[in-house]
Every structure is written in structure tokens, then in C-alpha cells.
């Protein structure tokens, strides 16, 4: 729980990781390049007081994670979103068993989401069924840019991916988090391209597709798809730290998301350990759209409460204290949310 | 003889200035992506660098191969070596370029399509962003402007936003005469007046994407290569786009 100026915020960090990028786990140069890239994100977008030494960045472990994420009671609940990256790391990047054990030890604070990869074929489908039962999965994190043998990526619209999505539907895994964001690699199997989310969201209306990093660097493609598909949600991982280095740019991102998706479909995510959530939550609560950006409505306290936790709590059936709940906004399922309020051309 | 060398070097740099990062819509020289230019006689060696090891390799290939073509076309240049440093595909890209293997020859089955479509997509996005900047700049000084009816002749001549739009229109083959409509759809046609606000809204999200990518990539480059900020030219778009004081009456 975070309290500021008499307002209480129930906070859900919808995207955290327990990773191991230490040299003994790096399979090849790409393992080092990958964590170095993360560390550059961390150094580039963090306030100076929040920058970690490189050595600490390679691995945190459960105890430190609990301290960093839940310290001072800022985050009420967090969801693991692991990436496998088996071609880069001997034991994978996201630490499945360690994170799962931590979630079991702290069920009120942590939810463990797992991953799957359609290129694992029929064996992977069987494994998904076993994982879902053992881990009580409510969600998965999909990393379409992951390397796998000769392949450097896949699409949600691939036929085998549909088999896995059908299995998710059957197993009650409703929240499909898809990494669509900066870095990375595939060629024509373009990891930035969000078009495959459009296909899957249309064909699986009963699943929720959380697009991590809200489609950056192709925000406009994401917004356009999300505007047409009511089951597409924006995750703010990697977008929210701009609140410090580029607040006016962050204001524009928030303005666009509220305009196109509405206040009920945006999720706060620190992407721990890329960044620790505490300073992001504090800054977000204090944040406002600059007054001179008249093309966007100001962010109300209600919008901030929804983004910081209530929206994710709804997706994960988390028990929010009654006095902190808010009704859903009366917004259209599709189409822009504030066609009149947010248009320069109509000023 | 010695007096010739600095000239060739500056011509090579000028040629590199015509190479654009498709996604950021800025020259690689302004972005600080040119790490070094070495001229020895008529032989030229250029090294490029990018903000992360994992920058999309199709974009990396576009920039490296465009750089090689641009330098090769400079009169008086003989042997040309262009290399990309510190990228997850440096070895592949550098070898493919040196062998003249082309994009598909370099990346094999991963490169299912040619890069023409990708290039065209980002030329179009660059134009859309420039269109939004020009229209929004005008709207801020003259909020009553009828956006749907706006023609190129209505834009202030000599302004950065106007010039940038005209350059991008020319690159796409769109008309640049004073009577041509400013607000156009991707196919170059004028939208229905009722559609105009939405066309501008969509253009705005494109512009924010392009700006955001530029912020991110420029910042990451300076984090990755300390001192590289000295090689980056300021973005004209980073000038404050909005007046500092606005009547509160316009806010809900």
C-alpha cells in the first residue's frame, strides 16, 4: 500500500523477474550482450540515486527481490514474467524454480507466470499442461524474439502458437503477456511488429493480451490494434522510467494510451530488476500531464489508482480492500475513448 | 597531395550524412552512429556503432549497406570498408557486406522478404510524423485553422517543420506545390473533412513513436559509448513545441 496526500493506492507490479545473468550462467557472448543491454537501459533511464553497480545487477536472489519490490510496503502484489533465453544462458535467464518457490512462500505477494514457446512442439504442449497444474498458472509471458536453434523468433499467429493458445484457454491461463518492445532481433519475424497480437486477440476474445512495453517502439501500431480489440491491454514496462528522464515524452505516451485504450487497460510494471518499483510508483503518483499539453486531459487520481494496481488486480483476481476499489469507467469497448476531449484540431 | 585528404574525408562524412536510420528518421551522422572515418590514399574505412548489441539486424543492415553505397559513390574513393562494431550480428553483417552477399544472402532463410517494404514503411512514417509536426505547429499559433482544407502554401515558408515536410513529401513522390493538401492519407489522397481530426490523431501517435525512439536510442548510445554525445547533433524537434502558458479554460 502506498499513501500520499491522504490517498491510498493498491499497487500491483505486473512485470517483475528473478533473473540470473552471472558469468557462470552465460552460455555465450550474447548472454553478456543481453544483460549489458539491460544494464544500459537501467543506467540511462534511472535517477542517479537508483543506479546499481553492475555486479549487483547480474543477480539479485529472492531475499533482495522481496526487499526491493515490497520494501516500505510500496508494492502489494507482483507478477513474475520470466524470459527463457536458453540460447544465451545455461540455466535460462528467468529462474523458474527459484521464482516459483518464492511465489509459493509468499502467495499473498507474488504470482508466478511461466512461459511457453510453440517451437517446442507437442512436447512443449504436454509440458505446458503439467506446468499449469503444478504452478496454478493464471498467465504466461511470451517472448517472440527468443532464439531457438536456427530460428530467431516466432509469431503469435503461427499455427503451433494457436495450439498453445487453445491449451491456455482450456487450462484457464487467461493472461497472455507478450513482449513487444525495444531491443531485439528477429528479421522478418519482426519482434517489434504487433500485428500478430491483432490476429490472436481477434481469435481468442476470452483471453487477455497484455502487450508489454505498450508496443514501443511502435506505439501507434499498438494503439490502433488495441483500440479495435477490447481484450488488448498496455503494460508500462520500460515506458514508465521515461517519467524521470523525459517527463514530457512520458506524458505523451500516457496521453495517447488513455485516449486510445482508456483508463481500465493500462498496467503499471517496473520490469524489476531493470528498475526498482519504489521510485517509479512515487513519481507516478506525483506526475501530471504538463499544463501546456492541452491536447491531453490531466491524469486524475482515479486513473492513477487504476493504472498502479486496480487494473492488474482485476486481471489476476486479487483481493483488493473494499475501500480501495473503483468502478470501471463507462467507456466504449472499441474506438478512441475521448474523441472530443483530446483533439487539438477541435480546440 | 596532402591537401586532398581532408577534402576526401569531409566528402565521405557528407555522404554518410545522407544515410538515415529508418526508424528514427535522422541521419546516422547526427545520431552519433558513425564511430570513425579513416582515409588512407583513396581507401576509406568507416566504423558504425549502434545503441545496443541487439538493435534489429534488418535496420542495422540497411544502415551499413546504405553507408557502404554512399561512400562508394564519392568521386575519388577507391577501396571501401564499412564495418558495424559490437553488434550481436557484427560478424555476419560485416562478412556479408564484404562479400557483396546482399541482405538475403547474408541472413538466409531468416530474411524472407526484401528490405524494400520495410524501407517504404518507415519513409511513410517519417512523412506522417513530419505532417503532424507541421500541422500541430500551425494549430498552436492559429487554433482556428481548418486542418482538412490546409494546403502547403498555408504553411510558414522557411520554418523547419515546413522544410522537413517538403523533403519527406519529395522522397515519397507526393506533390510539393502550394495548392497540394497538407493532410493526406498514406496513399497521398486528401481525407474526407469529417475524418481529418482522426487522421491527425493517428499521425500524432506516429510522431510520438518516432520521437520516443529517438530519445531512447540517443540516450542509450551515450550510455554505451561515453563521450558519443559530442558526436550527436541536437534534434530540431526537441525545441519546445508548445507555448509555456496556456489558458486554463481549455482544460476540462
Q: Which residues, 6+ apart, have CB-to-CB distance to A60 below 8 Å?
A: A18, A19, A68, A273
Q: What number of H helices and E strands is found in chain A? A: 13, 10
Q: Answer whether B177 touches A (CB < 8 Å).
A: no
Residue B128 in this model has a pLDDT that exceeds 80: yes
Q: Answer whether B206 touches A (CB < 8 Å).
A: yes
Interface test with A, best of B113, B183, B186, B216 (most A CBs within 10 A): B216
The mean pLDDT value for B226-240 works out to 81
Nearest residue to A81 via CA among A179, A198, A12, A197: A179
Q: Which residues of B touch A343 (CB under 8 A)?
A: 197, 200-201
pLDDT tens digits for range A65-108: 999 999 877 999 999 999 999 999 999 999 999 999 999 999 99
Residue A175 three-state SS? strand
Contact A347 B139 (CB under 8 A): yes
Contact A347 B53 (CB under 8 A): no
Q: Which residues of B touch A43 (CB under 8 A)?
A: 223
Q: How long is chain A?
A: 347
| CB count in 10 Å sphere of residue A61 | 12
The mean pLDDT value for A325-330 works out to 90
Quote the mean pLDDT of chain A.
Answer: 91
Among B88, B243, B252, select the one facing A341 at the smallest CB separation. B252
Nearest residue to B111 via CA among B66, B62, B67: B62
Residue A148 in this model has a pLDDT that exceeds 90: no
pLDDT tens digits for range A208-254: 999 988 877 788 889 989 999 999 999 999 899 999 989 999 999 99
Q: Answer whether B79 touches A (CB < 8 Å).
A: no
Quote the crossing angle between the two packed helices B196-224 and B116-141, to the nearest 10°.
Answer: 110
- Tell me how close the Cα of B158 comes to any Cα of chain A, in angstroms: 23
DSSP B179-199: TSBSS--TTSPPPPGGGHHHH
**Under 8 Å between Cβ of A136 and A107:** no
Contact A345 B246 (CB under 8 A): no
Cα B176–Cα A218–Cα A15 angle in degrees, nearest 5? 165
pLDDT of residue B58: 86
Question: ipTM surpassing 0.95, yes or no?
Answer: no
Q: Answer whether B74 touches A (CB < 8 Å).
A: no
Residue A265 in this model has a pLDDT that exceeds 80: yes
Q: Answer whether B197 touches A (CB < 8 Å).
A: yes
Among B53, B205, B211, select the one facing A249 at the smallest CB separation. B211
Q: Which residues of B touch A242 (CB under 8 A)?
A: 212, 215
Among B107, B224, B245, select the one facing A187 at the smallest CB separation. B107
> Do β-strands B26-27 and B20-21 pair in parallel, antiparallel, or remain unpaired?
antiparallel
Interchain CB contacts (distance < 8 Å): A and B: 141
Q: Answer whether A256 touches B (CB < 8 Å).
A: yes
Tell me the C-alpha distance between B189 and A125, whole Å: 48
pLDDT tens digits for range B184-230: 998 899 999 999 988 999 999 999 988 888 988 999 999 999 999 99
Q: Answer whether A83 touches B (CB < 8 Å).
A: no
Contact A191 B242 (CB under 8 A): no
Contact A220 B202 (CB under 8 A): yes
Range 322-341 of A in CB contact (< 8 A) with B: 336, 339, 341
In chain B, % of residues over pLDDT 70: 89
Q: Which residues of B touch A241 (CB under 8 A)?
A: none
Residue A339 in this model has a pLDDT that exceeds 70: no
Residue A67 three-state SS? helix
Residue A13 in this model has a pLDDT that exceeds 80: yes
The mean pLDDT value for B78-86 works out to 97
Contact B251 A217 (CB under 8 A): no
pLDDT of residue B238: 58
Tell me the C-alpha distance between A47 and A38, whole Å: 16
A182-186, B12-16, B134-138: lowest mean pLDDT where?
Answer: A182-186
pLDDT tens digits for range A170-217: 999 999 999 886 545 544 445 567 888 999 999 999 999 999 888 777
pTM of the entire predicted model: 0.91
pLDDT of residue B112: 63
Q: Answer whether A47 touches B (CB < 8 Å).
A: no
Contact B208 A219 (CB under 8 A): yes
Radius of gyration of the CA atoms of chain B, in A? 21
The secondary structure element, H or E, covering residue B225 is: none
Contact A219 B204 (CB under 8 A): no
Among B53, B107, B211, select the one facing A33 at the smallest CB separation. B53
Residue A146 in this model has a pLDDT that exceeds 60: yes
Q: Answer whether A26 touches B (CB < 8 Å).
A: no
A271-280, B42-51, B60-69, B119-128: lowest mean pLDDT where?
Answer: B119-128
Range 150-169 of A in CB contact (< 8 A) with B: 150, 152
pLDDT of residue B171: 92
Q: Which residues of B touch A245 (CB under 8 A)?
A: 215, 219
- Tell me how close the Cα of B167 comes to any Cα of chain A, in angstroms: 23
Residue of A nearest to B110 (CA): A187
**Under 8 Å between Cβ of B60 and B89:** yes
Task: For B126-146, give one letter per residue: b (16+ CB within 10 A) or e.
Answer: bbbbbbbbbbbbbbbeeeebe
More confidently predicted of A163 and B55? A163
pLDDT of residue A184: 54
Tell me the C-alpha distance between B126 and A228, whole Å: 24
Residue B246 in this model has a pLDDT that exceeds 50: no
Q: Which residues of A touch B215 (CB under 8 A)?
A: 242, 245-246, 249
Amino acid at each position: 500500500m502506498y499513501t500520499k496526500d491522504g490517498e491510498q493506492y493498491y499497487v500491483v507490479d505486473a512485470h517483475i523477474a528473478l533473473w540470473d545473468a552471472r558469468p557462470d550462467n552465460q552460455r555465450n557472448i550474447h548472454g553478456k550482450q543481453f544483460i549489458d543491454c539491460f544494464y544500459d537501459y537501467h543506467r540511462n533511464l534511472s535517477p542517479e540515486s537508483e543506479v546499481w553497480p553492475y555486479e549487483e545487477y547480474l543477480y539479485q536472489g529472492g531475499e533482495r527481490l522481496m526487499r526491493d519490490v515490497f520494501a516500505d510496503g510500496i508494492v502489494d502484489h507482483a507478477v513474475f514474467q520470466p524470459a527463457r533465453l536458453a540460447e544465451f544462458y545455461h540455466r535460462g535467464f528467468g529462474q523458474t524454480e527459484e521464482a516459483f518457490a518464492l511465489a509459493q512462500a509468499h502467495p499473498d505477494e507474488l504470482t508466478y507466470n511461466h512461459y511457453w514457446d510453440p517451437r517446442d512442439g507437442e512436447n512443449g504442449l504436454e509440458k505446458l499442461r503439467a506446468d499449469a497444474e503444478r504452478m496454478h498458472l493464471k498467465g504466461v509471458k511470451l517472448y517472440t524474439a527468443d532464439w531457438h536453434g536456427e530460428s530467431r523468433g516466432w509469431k503469435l499467429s503461427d499455427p503451433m502458437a494457436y495450439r498453445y493458445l487453445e491449451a491456455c484457454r482450456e487450462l484457464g491461463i487467461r493472461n497472455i503477456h507478450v513482449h513487444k518492445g525495444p531491443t531485439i532481433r528477429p528479421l522478418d519475424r519482426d519482434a517489434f511488429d504487433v500485428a500478430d497480437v491483432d490476429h490472436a486477440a481477434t481469435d481468442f476474445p476470452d483471453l487477455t493480451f497484455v502487450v508489454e512495453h505498450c508496443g514501443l517502439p511502435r506505439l501507434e501500431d499498438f494503439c490502433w490494434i488495441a483500440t479495435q480489440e477490447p481484450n488488448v491491454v498496455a503494460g508500462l514496462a520500460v515506458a514508465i522510467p521515461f517519467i524521470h528522464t523525459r517527463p514530457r515524452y512520458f506524458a505523451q505516451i500516457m496521453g495517447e494510451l488513455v485516449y486510445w485504450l482508456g483508463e481500465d487497460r493500462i498496467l503499471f510494471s517496473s520490469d524489476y530488476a531493470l528498475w526498482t518499483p519504489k521510485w517509479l510508483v512515487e513519481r507516478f503518483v506525483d506526475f501530471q500531464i504538463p499544463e501546456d499539453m492541452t491536447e491531453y486531459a490531466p491524469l486524475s487520481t482515479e486513473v492513477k489508482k487504476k493504472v498502479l494496481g486496480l487494473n492488474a488486480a482485476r486481471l489476476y483476481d486479487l483481493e483488493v480492500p473494499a475501500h480501495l476499489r473503483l468502478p470501471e469507467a463507462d467507456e466504449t469497448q472499441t474506438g478512441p475513448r475521448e474523441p472530443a476531449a483530446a483533439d487539438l484540431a477541435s480546440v | 597531395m596532402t591537401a586532398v585528404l581532408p577534402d576526401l574525408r569531409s566528402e565521405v562524412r557528407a555522404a554518410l550524412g545522407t544515410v538515415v536510420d529508418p526508424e528514427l528518421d535522422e541521419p546516422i551522422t547526427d545520431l552519433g552512429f558513425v564511430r570513425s572515418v579513416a582515409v588512407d590514399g583513396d581507401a576509406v574505412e568507416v566504423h558504425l556503432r549502434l545503441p545496443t548489441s541487439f538493435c534489429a539486424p534488418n535496420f542495422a543492415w540497411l544502415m551499413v549497406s546504405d553507408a557502404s553505397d554512399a561512400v562508394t559513390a564519392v568521386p575519388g574513393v577507391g577501396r571501401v570498408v564499412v564495418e558495424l562494431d559490437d553488434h550481436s550480428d557484427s560478424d555476419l553483417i560485416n562478412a556479408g557486406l564484404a562479400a557483396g552477399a546482399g541482405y538475403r544472402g547474408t541472413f538466409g532463410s531468416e530474411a524472407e522478404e526484401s528490405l524494400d517494404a520495410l524501407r517504404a514503411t518507415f519513409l511513410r512514417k517519417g512523412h506522417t510524423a513530419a505532417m503532424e509536426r507541421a500541422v500541430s505547429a500551425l494549430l498552436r499559433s492559429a487554433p482556428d485553422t481548418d486542418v482538412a482544407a490546409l494546403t502547403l502554401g498555408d504553411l510558414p515558408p522557411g520554418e523547419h517543420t515546413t522544410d522537413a515536410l517538403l523533403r519527406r513529401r519529395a522522397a515519397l513522390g507526393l506533390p510539393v506545390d502550394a495548392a497540394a493538401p497538407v493532410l493526406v492519407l498514406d496513399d497521398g489522397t486528401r481525407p474526407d473533412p469529417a475524418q481529418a481530426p482522426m487522421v491527425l490523431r493517428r499521425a500524432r501517435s506516429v510522431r510520438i513513436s518516432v520521437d520516443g525512439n529517438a530519445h531512447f536510442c540517443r540516450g542509450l548510445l551515450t550510455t554505451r559509448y561515453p563521450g558519443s554525445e559530442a558526436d550527436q547533433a541536437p534534434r530540431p524537434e526537441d525545441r519546445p513545441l508548445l507555448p509555456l502558458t496556456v489558458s486554463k479554460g481549455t482544460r476540462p
